[in-house]
Amino acid sequence: MADLTTLTAPEARRLLVRREISARELTRAVLDRLQAVEPDVRAFITLTADEALQQAGGADAALGTPGGDPQGTPLLTGIPVALKDLFCTRGVQTTSGSRILEGFVPPFDATVVARLRAAGAVFVGKTNMDEFAMGSSTESSGFGKTRNPWDLQRVPGGSSGGSAAAVAAGECLLALGTDTGGSIRQPASLCGIVGLKPTYGRVSRYGMIAFASSLDQAGPFSVGVEGSAMVLQAVAGLDPLDATSAPQAVPDYLAGLPGGIKGLRIGVPKEYFVPGTEPDVERLVRAAIAQLAALGAEVGEVSLPYTDYGLATYYIIAPAEVSSNLARYNGTKYGLAALDEPEMVRAMELTRQRGFGDETKRRIMLGTYALSSGYYDAYYLKAQKVRTLIKGDFDRAFERFDVLATPTSPTTAFRLGEKTQDPLAMYLSDVCTLPVNMAGLPGINVPCGFDGGGLPVGLQLIGRPFDEATLLRVAYTYEQSTDHHRRRPGREVMSQGPGVDGGVVPAGGAQETRR
Ligand code: GLN
């Protein structure tokens, strides 16, 4: 049997349903692969191998029930999936990448986790991420740094870098991440895979550790577009436990994939080829757009004049929400507590001082400042008004176009440490993705080639609210006309032995937990 870890999720589904492979075989292959490459890639904070094998056993039972109907089993039955470590998982540590939550074991599943469970998914573990999802490189994690499987000296992007790297490296077939300003699309781009950020409200946020509640949205990573459609199918839809989840009906995303893009109007926002965009990125994204035209789309230029204000606006609104959302971590409810300090207020201060990393502290300070009396109107209120203008840009563009096409990230994967001392340079990684969150729109990354150094480049497609189906169809049509998704990072890259920092396994890094 060929290497099962190179299967895409729909390929695995077909083999599982035909009983040509078992869920246990598939899960074992993925766990073996994980063990072999994890010392180099370090995509996981917590592994759940035992639970995965048990779930795989259950999947085999469901698929093989005598007289049963394997076709009728839920879509993800027996498929190994990784979860970003900010989705609450019943009985399994959930840290949000922060030492302040080390040891926190939720008593319940996030809605998306419950839905994936119901769809038959096999959970292999919880993936590394920037602390509380703030970052673009996964370097702000309290649990060590994840490396890009295409080049171990480089970052996988972030904040869902662990999920993206795990999928790219074959340590799972699918993964779930979150995207507040780009954290699914940007790491997908840097790791050469598909990543979809759904419309705000399309997917429940219940049980997802909050970063910026008006922007956060969960979504899938996969090799190939079809896998992301499978995950979205399983997790999308109204949830009574999340008042911001939307009642819109969930279409059949898989059925909608074929059908082509003839006559579809694709707009190219001219402001998105920002200064600092690498020449290879611009060249490959423009070539992908030309390919969409060759496939029958009508392509035209469009202007989104408020794009320039996106970054500044995001860095008021998101930190403001952080300063409020992160107030709850004070040692009295979950995780770390400075028990050595008897005085209550001092103990809370110490807990936060010890538990939060630098970037988290920076955001809390930025946000608290922007919300403080006298500054609220000048910063926060003003930012909310500009947010409306940014949304207006998109509304106007969608009167003329069905989909917008841009680079996902202005650069390919950068070197570990390259931007950690310069927060603004790091923030600029998301300049093409942040406005999409502020307008609440869906966006997808689809690989569109490799730069001169062999690093993946991604095309971002942006859609109308709740029109993930069109995004998936455009991405699928494009993908089927290229070979990029067939290229995977070589095993040889991940067996070079000790990586950049001497192969020291991060303290608290991937541990087996079963509780
Ligand atoms: N990099 C952006 C930030 O740090 C976006 C992160 C995200 O989408 N979670 O805020």
pLDDT-based confidence at 500, cuts 50/70/90? very low
Strand 44-47 relative to strand 122-127: parallel, antiparallel, unpaired? antiparallel
- The pLDDT score that the predictor gives to residue 66 is 74
How crowded is the C-beta side of 332, counted as CA atoms within 13 Å?
11
CA distances from 422 to 51, 212, 471, 514 (A): 41, 22, 34, 39
| Residues linked to residue 406 through DSSP beta bridges, in sequence order | 460
Residue carrying the six token digits 């994890």:
38
pLDDT, position 485: 87
Judge whether residue 510 has pLDDT over 60. Answer: no
Place of tokens 């579809």: 264
Which atom of ligand 1 is closest in space to residue 178's alpha carbon?
9
Q: Is the CB of 180 under 6 A from ligand 1?
A: yes
pLDDT at residue 504 greater than cutoff 80? no
The span from the CA of 81 to the CA of 85, in Å, is: 13
Tokens 């469970």 sit at which residue?
117
Which pLDDT does position 491 carry in this prediction?
A: 62
How far CA 398 is from CA of 58, 311, 392, 441, 460, in Å, comes to: 46, 22, 10, 11, 16
The per-residue pLDDT for range 21-76, each reduced to its tens digit, is 999 999 999 999 999 999 999 999 999 999 999 999 999 999 997 777 889 999 99
pLDDT digits (tens, 9 = 90+) for 251-279: 999 999 999 999 999 999 999 999 999 99
- C-alpha 36 – ligand 1 centre gap (Å): 30
**Nearest-angstrom CA–CA distance, 10 and 279:** 34
CA pair distance 57, 66, nearest whole angstrom: 15
List the end-to-end C-alpha distance of the chain, in Å, as a whole number.
Answer: 34
Distance CA 510, CA 146 (A): 11
Beta carbon of 261 within 6 Å of any ligand 1 atom: no
Nearest to 296 by CA among 261, 256, 257, 259: 261
Looking up tokens 């996988």, which residue turns up? Answer: 156
Model confidence at 502, pLDDT cuts 50, 70, 90, reads: very low
Q: Is 155 in the pocket of ligand 1 (CB under 6 A)?
A: no
Going by the DSSP 8-state scheme, the letter that residue 214 receives in this structure is T
Contact 185, 443 (CB under 8 A): yes
Give the pLDDT score at 508.
Answer: 39
Q: Residue 68: what pLDDT?
A: 77
- 181 in contact with ligand 1, CB cutoff 6 A: yes
- Sorted by where each begins, the domain ranges of the chain are 4-66+75-308+386-501
Average pLDDT over residues 240-247: 98
Phi, psi of 129 (to 5 degrees): -165, 160
149 Cβ below 6 A of ligand 1? no
User: Is residue 209 within 8 Å of 96, Cβ to Cβ?
Assistant: yes
The residue whose CA has the least distance to atom 10 of ligand 1 is 134
Q: Would you state the pLDDT for residue 514?
A: 34
Please list the alpha-helical segments (H only) found in 372-466: 382-400, 423-427, 434-438
Asked if residue 513 has pLDDT above 70, the reply is no
Residue 122 predicted with pLDDT over 90: yes
pTM (2 decimals)? 0.95
Q: What is the mean pLDDT of residues 181-208?
A: 98
To test the pocket of ligand 1, the residue of 87, 183, 414 to mutate (highest count of ligand atoms within 8 Å of its CB) is 183
- The answer to whether residue 494 scores a pLDDT higher than 60 is no
For residue 150, what are its two tokens? Answer: 């295409």
**What is the pLDDT, as a whole number, of residue 106?**
98
Contact by Cβ (8 Å): 176, 187: no
- How high is the pLDDT of residue 315? 97
The fourth-level CATH superfamily of domain 4-66+75-308+386-501 is: Amidase signature (AS) domain (3.90.1300.10)
H or E element, residue 166: helix 161-168
CA–CA gap between residue 360 and residue 367 (Å, rounded) = 11
CA distance 261 to 297: 6
Q: What is the pLDDT of residues 321-366, one digit of tens each?
A: 999 999 999 999 989 999 999 999 999 999 999 999 999 999 999 9
pLDDT for position 499? 38
Cβ(21)–Cβ(1) below 8 Å: yes
- In the reported structure, the alpha carbon of residue 178 is separated from the centroid of ligand 1 by a whole-number distance in angstroms of 9
Q: How far is 19 from 59, CA to CA, in rounded Å?
A: 11
pLDDT higher than 90, residue 443: yes
| pLDDT at 496 > cutoff 60 | no
Q: Under a CB-based contact definition with an 8 Å cutoff, are residues 413 and 157 in contact?
A: yes
Strand ranges for 184-251 from DSSP E = 194-197, 218-222
Which residues are CB-neighbours of 238 under 8 A, at least 6 positions away? Answer: 204, 245, 246, 247, 248
Could you give the angle at which helices 161-168 and 23-41 cross, rounded to 10 degrees?
Answer: 120
Distance from the alpha carbon of residue 320 to the mean position of ligand 1, in angstroms: 14
478 lines ligand 1 (CB under 6 A): no
Task: Calculate mean pLDDT across residues 4-19.
Answer: 97
Convert the pLDDT of each residue in 128-166 to its tens digit. 999 999 999 999 999 999 999 999 999 999 999 999 999
186 lines ligand 1 (CB under 6 A): no
> 300 in helix, strand or coil?
strand
The answer, yes or no, to whether residue 497 has pLDDT greater than 90, is no
Convert the pLDDT of each residue in 219-231 to its tens digit: 999 999 999 999 9
- Looking at residue 1, its pLDDT comes to 62
pLDDT given for residue 255 in this prediction: 97
Ligand 1 center–CA 389 separation, angstroms: 21
* pLDDT of 505: 35
Atom of ligand 1 nearest to the CA of 133: 9
Which strands make up the sheet holding 122-127, listed edge to edge? 298-302, 265-269, 403-407, 456-463, 443-450, 194-197, 218-222, 174-178, 80-84, 122-127, 44-47, 511-512
In this structure, the chain runs to a length of: 515
**Residue 469 confidence (pLDDT) above 50:** yes
What are the E-state strand segments in 40-79? 44-47
